[in-house]
């Protein structure tokens, strides 16, 4: 009997379809790839130059830009209105001896009295600056950049308002300047806002901070 069982043996039972090792592959630790497969896009290293930079976060800083621009513009507009009403055609007012005076002057040129013969050109340049700032505002995620561009925008709008609406004619109007510093040109608050915004932009660029909030570590 034992010899018969040895000869006959146990019949082979075929494996059920789908129950072989190919259906239950060996479990792999998380984050590993099966041999012979291509890496996914998440596993590939960054190639857009952002590996050493902090990406922007949060919402666009348009409210900051507009708030700074409106403040700078209104401050310039109010100061010029007072100067025209109280100082024009009057003697200069001494603030700190001869070092600082308030003196109403009509300037047809650029900031600090430069280029008086190119009033229309400077009017066009101011309009272009405003357009460029509006374009940059679409990707503005940095508060310092929002402040800098807001100062530029407010100052440019302040002087552009003078060039459009003041005498002698539209788009050729003379800008009202009144801050007179000894051994320096006469300027206004719009000029100051433009200069402060420009200096801040230079500092931010040296620091490696972009308008979209990206901070470059290199």
In a domain, 40, yes or no: no
Query: Does 8 map to a domain?
Result: no
Active-site residue among 52, 98, 177, 210? 177
In a domain, 89, yes or no: yes
CA distances from 32 to 36, 41, 206 (A): 12, 14, 41
Q: What three-state secondary structure class fits 66? A: helix
Tokens of 170: 């539209």
Tokens (6 digits) for 35: 């041999």
For residue 191, indicate whether it is catalytic: yes
Q: Which domain holds residue 64?
A: 58-216
The residues, any chain, with a CB within 8 Å of residue 31's CB and separated by 6 or more, are: none
Of the candidates 12, 98, 191, 212, the residue annotated as catalytic is 191
**Rounded CA gap, 77 and 164, in Å?**
13
Number of domains comprising the chain = 1
In a domain, 83, yes or no: yes
Please tell me whether residue 102 adopts helix, strand or coil conformation: strand
Catalytic-residue membership of 162: no
- Written as tens digits, the pLDDT of the chain (218 aa) is 455 455 455 555 555 444 554 444 455 555 455 555 555 544 444 444 444 555 556 788 999 999 999 999 999 999 999 999 999 989 999 999 889 999 999 987 655 555 554 566 767 888 888 889 988 888 899 999 999 999 999 999 999 999 889 988 887 888 999 999 998 888 999 999 999 999 999 999 999 999 988 988 76
């Amino acid at each position: 009997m034992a010899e018969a069982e040895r000869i006959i043996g146990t019949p082979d039972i075929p494996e059920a379809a789908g129950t072989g090792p190919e259906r239950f592959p060996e479990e792999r630790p998380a984050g590993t790839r099966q041999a012979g497969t291509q890496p996914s896009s998440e596993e590939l290293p960054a190639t857009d130059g952002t590996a050493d930079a902090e990406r922007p976060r949060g919402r666009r800083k348009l409210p900051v830009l507009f708030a700074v621009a409106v403040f700078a513009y209104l401050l310039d507009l109010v100061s010029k209105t007072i100067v025209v009403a109280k100082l024009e055609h009057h003697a200069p007012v001494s603030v700190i001896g001869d070092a600082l005076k308030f003196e109403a002057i009509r300037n047809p040129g650029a900031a600090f009295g430069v280029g008086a013969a190119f009033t229309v050109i400077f009017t066009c340049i101011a309009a272009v600056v405003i357009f460029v700032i509006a374009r940059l505002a679409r990707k503005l995620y940095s508060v310092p950049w929002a402040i800098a561009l807001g100062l530029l925008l407010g100052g440019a709008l302040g002087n552009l308002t003078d060039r459009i609406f003041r005498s002698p004619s539209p788009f050729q109007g003379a800008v009202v300047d009144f801050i007179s510093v000894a051994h320096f040109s006469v300027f206004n608050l719009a000029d100051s806002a433009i200069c402060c915004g420009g200096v801040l932009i230079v500092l931010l660029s040296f620091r490696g901070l972009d308008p979209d909030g990206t901070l470059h570590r290199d």
